[in-house]
Amino acid sequence: MKTSMKSRFTIFLLCVLSGATASVWAQSSRLQMGGYGEAVAQRMFYSDNVERYRYPESNKDASHGRFDLPHVVFYLSYDFGHGWKIATEVEFEHGGAGSTVEIENEETGEYETEVEKGGEVALEQFWIEKTFSNALNLRIGHIILPIGLTNSYHMPTEFFSVLRPEEEATILPCTWHETGLSVWGRVPAWRYEAQFIAGLDAERFSNAYWIQGGSTSPYEFTIANKYAGALRIDNYSIRGLRIGLSGYFGFSAKNSLKAGRYVYTYTDSQGATHKEDVNGSVSIVDLDAVYEAHHILARTNVLYGHLGDSYTISRVNSKLPSASPSPRTNVASDVLSWYVEAGYDVLSFFPGRKSKEEKLYLYGHYGYYDSMYKTARGITPKEWCEKRILSAGLNYFPLREVVVKAEYAFRRFKAPFNHEPTLSLGIAYSGLFQ
């Protein structure tokens, strides 16, 4: 039975005054609340010196530790009816960010701004959606790009590692969110999603992270001089198996405040100098799969990316002023990333346990990525950008929405660089509060 706005407001007040949980309110309306969060403790058995790759021998014996809140996200959505719905998601990365203004008595009463807490606060999602049928939905606003496995399934209960798999998270924005338009739908055994969004900003590409920084705007708006498209298709034909194929294409060289700087200059056989604008096209193709059946949970992801005009972009970026948000490093023309991981629920050997939701996965993970897999002529690749990841650990789910994680990971390099082992512990949740 439908309730009026006045009735729902009355129920909400009763919930607050009585100390009831948010689920009572959620069940009495079309409002949904939820989110996810992670708390992490790590010990890295290697140096945190920023020069450790330049001078590997001088940073051989060292270690450091960290406590962190990588992501704490709050989700809110409301179904207006007649096929209209809104949703928003606010993310606090690394505990959020804070600053304060003080008057310093020791400095003749001058105002001083101090950073109280590092981190970021970001609006990860905000969209309005119209549903026409299961096969056709239109979503407009700030949306997540479903490129790769982790962007599509980024809840901490949806990957084994304590932190998001670095094979993807290093090369791609993660979670990758942009303002744009999405058309998606579900038909038997298939799901599709097509998106139209702004292109990336080539000024923020780098050797270590490829295009990752290009999705983050340091301005009060997102530059949209050039556009991009994303597409994802998932198949569920085989019981317990989901296979996904995703792709991205867009231009980046003209998508900065000073777009005219990205020009290719050359001299012809007659000695005349010519200048041509470059596009900086970004192409990404990704294949991923998840299998969950017979107490086995396995995942794999393979990603290949190409950046056109990488030589010109690298040359231009290296000459940008120090005030620019650019890392001012060379960028690769091609990148490669892949990993496989599999776990087994050992509690399945005890069928008499009280809760069937309780699971304990023992897992292994092996992966590879190189953010400078191929470079244009004239650009020397950085050997330390090629990494192999070996890890093993456990995921304990006392409930479906809560997971406790332990992981030992080993990041391997070619000589002369030192390997980087890490021990990580984490606890996380993900779900709706209803």
- Check: CB of residue 176 under 8 Å from CB of residue 215: yes
pLDDT in tens, 74-121: 999 999 999 999 999 999 988 777 665 655 554 455 656 666 666 778
CA 55 to chain centre: 30
3-state class (DSSP) for residue 423: strand
Question: What's the CATH number of domain 31-98+109-432, 3.40.50.980, 2.160.20.10, 2.40.160.10, 2.60.40.10?
Answer: 2.40.160.10
Q: What is the pLDDT of residues 255-302, one digit of tens each?
A: 887 767 787 776 666 666 667 778 999 999 999 999 999 999 999 999
On whether the CB atoms of residues 335 and 382 are closer than 8 A, the answer is no
Side chain identity, residue 161: S
Beta bridge partners of 82: none
Q: What is the DSSP letter of 398?
A: E
Task: Please give the chain's pLDDT, 434 residues, in tens.
Answer: 444 444 444 444 444 444 444 444 444 478 999 999 999 999 999 988 888 888 887 667 789 999 999 999 999 999 999 999 999 999 998 877 766 565 555 445 565 666 666 677 888 999 999 999 999 999 999 999 999 999 999 999 999 999 999 999 999 999 999 999 999 999 999 999 999 999 999 999 999 999 999 998 878 888 888 999 999 999 999 999 999 999 999 999 888 877 677 877 766 666 666 677 789 999 999 999 999 999 999 999 999 999 999 999 999 998 888 888 889 999 999 999 999 999 999 999 988 877 788 999 999 999 999 999 999 999 999 999 999 999 999 999 999 999 999 999 999 999 899 999 999 999 999 998 86
> Which DSSP helix (H) or strand (E) runs through 72?
strand 71-81
Which sequence spans correspond to the domains of the chain?
Answer: 31-98+109-432
Q: What share of the chain is helix, strand, coil (3-state, %, to 5)?
A: 15, 50, 35
Closest residue by Cα to residue 226 from 252, 249, 195, 263: 252
In a 13 Å sphere around the CA of 365, the CA atoms on its Cβ side amount to 32
- Cβ atoms within 10 Å of 79's Cβ, excluding its own: 16
Judge whether 309 and 283 are in contact, CB under 8 Å. no
Closest to 411 in 3D by CA, of 403, 424, 422: 422
* Nearest residue to 310 (alpha-carbon basis) of 217, 168, 202: 202
